[in-house]
Amino acid sequence: MSETALPAGRPSAFGWLTTVVLAGALSGFLAAFFSISDATFIFGLSMPALLPIGIGVALLSTAVLAAVTALSSSIPGVVAQTQEVPLATLAVVAASIPGLMPAGASETATFTTLLCTLGASTLVTGLFFFLLGYFRLGRFIRYVPLPVIAGFIAGMGLILLLGSVEVVAGRPLELATLEGWLSASVLAKLALAGGLALLLHVLPRLTQSALATPAAILGAVLLFHAVARFVGIESLTSEGWFVSVETGSNLWGYGEYVDFATVEWGVIASQALTIATMVLVSAMALLMTSSAIELAIHRDVDVNGELKAAGAANLCAGLIGGIPGFQGFSLTLLNWRLGAATRATSLVVAVVCLAILALGAPLLSVVPIPIFGGLLLWLSVSLLEEWLVATWKRLSKGEYLVILLIVAVIASLGFLEGLLVGLIAGVVIFVVDYSRVDIVNARLSGQVLRSSVELSGERQKVLAAHGDAILILRLQGYIFFGTADRLRERILSWVASSGPTPISFLLIDFRRASGMDSSAALTFRKLVQLTAQGDFRLVLTGLSKELRQTLERGGMPFDPAGPVRAYPTLDRGLRWCEQKLLGRVAPLLASDDPYQIQEQLLSGIDRGEHGQKLLSYMTRASFPQDHVLIEQGTASEEMYFIEAGRLSVHLAKSDGGRLRLKTLGPGTTVGELAFYLHQRRSASVVCDTDTVAWRFGHDDLQRMAEQAPDLAALFHRRMAVLLSERLAATNRLVQVLLD
């Protein structure tokens, strides 16, 4: 059992309830602390006067996210909360809204516009999540290159880092305010926030206890108040150490600050691209979080189901102007380690957030702003460490430079510019990486790969000697301009360095190619220029309808009388190349004229007296077209030597159809394997034309062995040579394909 699994046995009802309440309360307080920190980051600089109301919005958002996700997620004990990934973008949006409002806009108009912007962001996020899950498109988000994702998240971590420091100091990080940053009070705030962030950062390296983080936060609060007794709470309050809360105000009653008639919808629309960036990156972060939870709890997670759960939760939160969020890794893992991985625990988290929302105004006068800032600082450092520092070892230098570029653009220009640079970088990464993929599945020559037409011994010797004149390329995958141009350069190199036997036929097989863009079609059109440089032919095989149309639009001249020929299969294209090559180098062997049987039987051996003796043990017979010379599954009693005609070898399929294996012509042998192995026929042989063949049966072989043992030995030697040549050709082909 893993460390994250529930304890063995069935606990009592009281024990179960106690575990659920304690774990839920602990997770709930942590979720509330994180929510308050997020609200401080969003509202602390844009509208500090309404920060308590902003905290109420964040707490209510977390309560809704936790409750809805608890009821719809496939992960028991999961805790959804406001997240730091969309937080950085929303902080930028919130900071820009006051400056975009018309001159003289009231505080109510500004707050309502900000609230509607947050609500619209959350609604769009929820809708996007839900649609991705509903249409089961979650896997496509993972196609975004890792450097682009890492750059976005690291950029958010940097924005979060700078923003958390500004929140703690209570002033913007600008040259004009530099003197104020050097005051004793600001330095003390930064020291407390930095110390807490450092403590939270090193705790996981010192202990595996799930209580370490809440204990550190509680200890920091107690230590602060122990020191504050000597300094004076009143003086610290006046110096901005606490969230300012007016007497009688609360965290949840923000209705009096909302007036939808004053909303500036144009201001909200101006943030559309920034919000779209946040939504996309949030989806990536949710998918990565789901994968991390899956690995941590050793349980399969339905990614699309989690997208729908997070989508429903954000849709509900968006209706109240809430902040977007999704499933949290650390709090979910905390519940599992405490043995409280149930939906009830997650509902307790929502109850705790609502309780703090209703009664938590005094909490803000107890917990200082640097504590919340320290939490934000810890989160930002964690993001930078994971996505900016740790990626140095996991990625190549080029990919890491993309991360640095995106982070630099986000920090100096903004998220929209970072989005544009990231998308461009993603396209460049794809083009560069995919162009390195070898689309050539195999490079062969006509010397190694032969068509299914079985030729006579002399024809095979000619092809073996001149087969390098046929260059065969089998392509694979999607072909675009990068891979196609690289292929063209390699072909030019192969043709230029073809050696003593120049390449005269270029056969390109597209059967394994999944597609092609128009730029690649133009590149293949350039290959036709090779045909104008000499006696060179281009043969394209295995073209789908779509590929052929793409090539035709690119200007590929498919003309039977032209330099480019197309065939439906590689075998037919190769058969044409072999026939043309034979006609060029051995015209007398290119035809299907009847073949002297002595040439076939005694190639390379004295044919005089032996040839006539061999023929005396064979029977010459004629067979009409469509005659079944050999039937699959029958006993093997004879073999045949083809003198004239053309035959085809077929394999019967289970559905009643037939698969054509190869074609036989004059000068070939059929049935010899089953004849020597005494096995049943493995395929059928049918006469495609009127055929003349010489039959040689087991009884003939027995009679030859008894009457002319020397001749029988000569016959066996010749058959051994024939079978060995076939085996050697097969071995050469296998070796090339495995290379």
Determine the Cα–Cα distance for residues 163 and 87; give it in Å rounded to an integer.
Answer: 10
pLDDT at 71: 93
Convert the pLDDT of each residue in 637-660 to its tens digit.
Answer: 899 988 888 889 888 887 777 888
Q: Give kind and range of the element (H or E) at residue 598.
A: helix 597-601
Convert the pLDDT of each residue in 82-92 to its tens digit.
Answer: 887 788 788 88
Spatial strand order of the sheet with 684-687 comes to: 453-454, 658-664, 647-652, 684-687, 628-630
Q: Is 685 helix (H, G, I), strand (E, B) or coil?
A: strand
Nearest 5°: the CA angle 585, 590, 593 is 145
Q: Give kind and range of the element (H or E) at residue 9.
A: none
Convert the pLDDT of each residue in 550-597 to its tens digit.
Answer: 888 888 888 777 778 899 988 889 888 888 888 888 776 656 555 556
Determine the Cα–Cα distance for residues 625 and 67; give it in Å rounded to an integer.
Answer: 79
Q: Tell whether the model's pLDDT for residue 621 goes beyond 50.
A: yes
Q: Give kind and range of the element (H or E) at residue 621.
A: strand 619-623
96 or 615: which leads in pLDDT: 96
Determine the Cα–Cα distance for residues 603 and 642; give it in Å rounded to an integer.
Answer: 15
Band of pLDDT at residue 729, cut at 50, 70 and 90:
low
326 or 170: which leads in pLDDT: 326
pLDDT at 609: 65
Is the whole-model pTM more than 0.75? no
Range 448-453 average pLDDT? 78
The helix-helix angle for 369-384 and 84-100 (nearest 10°) equals: 120
For 48, 626, 647, 649, 692, the CA distances from 686, given in Å and listed in that order, are 91, 6, 6, 7, 13
pLDDT at 6: 40
Helices (H), 73-177: 84-100, 107-134, 138-141, 146-169
For 273, 274, 409, the CA distances from 417, given in Å and listed in that order, are 10, 10, 7
Q: Which of 320, 162, 309 is nearest to 254 (CA)?
A: 320
683 touches 628 (CB < 8 A): no
Q: Tell whether the model's pLDDT for residue 159 goes beyond 60.
A: yes
Residue recorded with tokens 């095989």? 541
Q: How many CA atoms lie within 13 A of 647 on its CB side?
A: 31
Which amino acid is present at 363?
L
